Structure 1
C-alpha cells in the first residue's frame, strides 16, 4: 500500500466523521469514547478502510464474528474475544455478524491524565507492537463485561467526576488484562529484531520524558541519543521506526512532547515557563508557539479550558 493513500487520524472525532459514525458525544478535549458497535454499524457485512490512528482501541466481542488486521497480521474475532490495538499501525476491521461488541477508544493523554501517570511503567504490555487477541470463557468474559458497561454508564453520565470514574474503572480493567493473559507476555516473542528495536525505542522515549517532567533530565533527546541507547546507527534506527510504525522519530518525539505538556498543564501547578524548561525549551515563547502549532490552541487557553487558572 502506498503511504500517500493511507488515511491517518490523530483525533477520534476525525476518524468517526470519515466513517460516518456519530460524533455528538465526543468531546474534543477528553479524547475518549465508548460504544456498542451494533448501535452504529446497522448493516453487515461491514468492512472498514485501512487507516492509521494515533490512539488506543480496546474491543470486547461478546457475541459477534469478524476479523481485524494490524499491519500485516490478520486475526479472527469470535464470541469471547478481547483485543487491543495501539497507536501507529495499519488497521482495518470487518464484521460478518454483529450483535454485541463494545469498543473503548482513548488517547495516551487521556490514559496519563485519568488512568495512571506512569501508564507504560505499570502496564508495559501496552508498549508491544502487536498483541494477539484472547478468547475467554463466559465466566471470565463476564468480569470484563461488568467493567466496560460501568465505564459506558459513567461516560454517558453528566457527573463532574466522569473522567475520574472512568479512569478508576479502567485501572481495574487493565489490571485484569495484566492478570489473566498478559502478565508474562513478552512482545519479542515474534523473534523479530525490528520489533525489539521499536519496543526499546518506545520504552526509552517514555522513560526519558518521565525524567524530563520530574526534573531528572535537562534536555530533549535527539535521534542520535536514542540510537546510542541501542548501539545503532541513527539512520538505521530512523529507518526501522519509520517502516514499522509509519511515523518518523521526529513525529514520535513531537507527539510525546505535546502529550507530556498537556498532562503538566492540566494536572500540575507548575508554571508554563517551568513546563517549557522541563520539556527542553529555552524560551517559554518558543514552547507556546510549538504547542499551538501542534494543537491549534495556546498553553494558556488549554489550561483555562481545563479549569486551571495558572499561567
Structure 2
C-alpha cells in the first residue's frame, strides 16, 4: 500500500484499519497492544501512508530492516535496535524485511492507570519529540526480550488481572531501557529552539494536570498561562506548537483533560463531582457535556464500563 495522503489516527486500531491490517486482537477498552510484525501479512516491500498517532510505541528489532520518517528526519531500522516514538508528528514507515520485530504500543491513559501518575518524572524520555533508534548489545537485547515474552504471554491470556500484570512488566521494561539507554537523558536539551519550546510546553502541561488531579491547583490553564510560563507571546507559542506537532494548544489541552478524566473515572472512589472540580470545571454538568462531546458517552457510563 502506498499513499502520500496524511490521515488522522486516534488509536492503533484506527491506524491498522486505515492500512487494511488485522484488528482482531485489539481490546478497545484498554490502550495497550503488543504484536510481532511477522504475524501481520505485510506485502514486502511495504510503504505506509503518512499518519499521526496518539500513542507511544517501542520497536524491538531482533532481525529485520526498514525506515521510519518523522517530519524531515529519517531513521534506518537495523537488527538488534530499539526504536521509540511518542504521540505528535506525522510519520511514515516502510519495511524491506521482517523476521522478528516486536511492536509495543500504549497510550497515556494506560500509563497513568497501570504504570503510575509520575511516569514523566520517572521516564522523561517519553516527552521528547524524536529519539534515534539505538543498536544495543546482545546481552541487553536478550534481557529486554525476556520481559517482552512475558508481556506477550500475558496479553494473549483472557484474565481479569492481565493489564495490571502488563503494567508492572512495562514499568520494569521502561526502567531497564532508561537505565541502559537514557539514564541521564533530559529532553529539554535536545533539538532546536522550536523543539525545546514543544518539550517545555509538554512538561508544563503534564505538571499542571498533575496539580489539578491532586487538588494542588483548581483553575485550568489557558493558552495565555502557558505562554506566560514560557515567557513567550501566546501567538508565537501557538504557532510553534501547531507547526511542530500538527495540533494547536487547545487540542493538546482537550486531549490532556480527557486523559486525566478517564484516569480519574477509572478510580471508583472519586466522585464525579470531585473529578469535575479537580479538572477545573465549575459545574459537573459542564464536565459531563465536555466528556460526552469527545467520548460519545457520559462520565457515568464510562466509569461503569471500566470499573471491574
Under a length normalisation based on structure 2, what TM-score does the superposition of the two structures give?
0.96
Task: Find the counterpart in structure 2 of residue 48 from structure 1.
Answer: 48
Aligned to 1:37: 37
> Structure 2 CA distance, aligned partners of 1:210 and 1:41?
41
Query: What are structure 1's unaligned runs of at least 5 residues?
Result: none
Match of 1:272 in 2: 272
1:201-220 aligned at under 5 Å gives the runs 201-220=201-220
Supply the distance in 1 between the matched residues of 2:85 and 2:293 (Cα, whole angstroms): 28
| Deviation of 1:186 (Å) | 3.3
CA distance in 2, matches of 1:191, 1:111: 25
Alignment correspondent of 2:255: 255
**1:191: Cα distance to partner?**
4.4
Query: CA–CA distance in 1 between the matches of 2:186 and 2:72?
Result: 19
1:43 positional shift: 2.5
Superposed CA deviations along residues 234-280 of structure 1, whole A, max 9, x for unmatched, are: 00000000000010000000000000000000025111111001101
Distance in 1 (CA, whole Å) between partners of 2:184 and 2:111 is: 22
Map of 1:142 onto structure 2: 142
Distance in 1 (alpha carbons) for counterparts of 2:235 and 2:249? 11
Aligned counterpart, 1:240: 240
What CA distance in whole angstroms lies between the structure 2 residues aligned with 1:171 and 1:275? 26
Contact 1:130-1:187 at 8 Å conserved across structures: no
Aligned to 2:110: 110
Residue 185 (structure 1) shift: 2.1
Which runs of structure 2 are paired with 1:105-184 in the superposition (5 Å)? 105-184=105-184
Distance verdict in 2 for CA 1:304–1:268, change over 3 Å: closer
CA-to-partner distance for each residue in 1:72-120, whole Å, 9 max, x for gaps? 1100111101011100111111111110000011111011111122111
Q: 1:187: Cα distance to partner?
A: 2.5
Q: d(CA) in 2 for partners of 1:187 and 1:121?
A: 12
CA RMSD of aligned residues (A): 1.3
Q: 1:43 is paired with a residue of what secondary structure?
A: coil
The alignment partner of 1:83 has SS state of: strand
TM-score (norm 1): 0.95
Number of equivalences:
305
Could you tell me which residue of structure 2 aligns to residue 306 of structure 1?
306
Contact 2:109 2:262 in 1 (8 A): yes
**Structure 2, gaps ≥5 residues long:** none
Which residue number corresponds to residue 82 of structure 1? 82
Shift in Å at residue 189 of structure 1? 4.8
SS of structure 2 residue aligned to 1:182 = coil
Aligned-residue offset at 1:190: 4.3
**For residue 294 of structure 1, what is the aligned residue in structure 2?**
294
Following TM superposition, by how much is the alpha carbon of 1:41 offset from its aligned partner in structure 2, in angstroms? 3.3
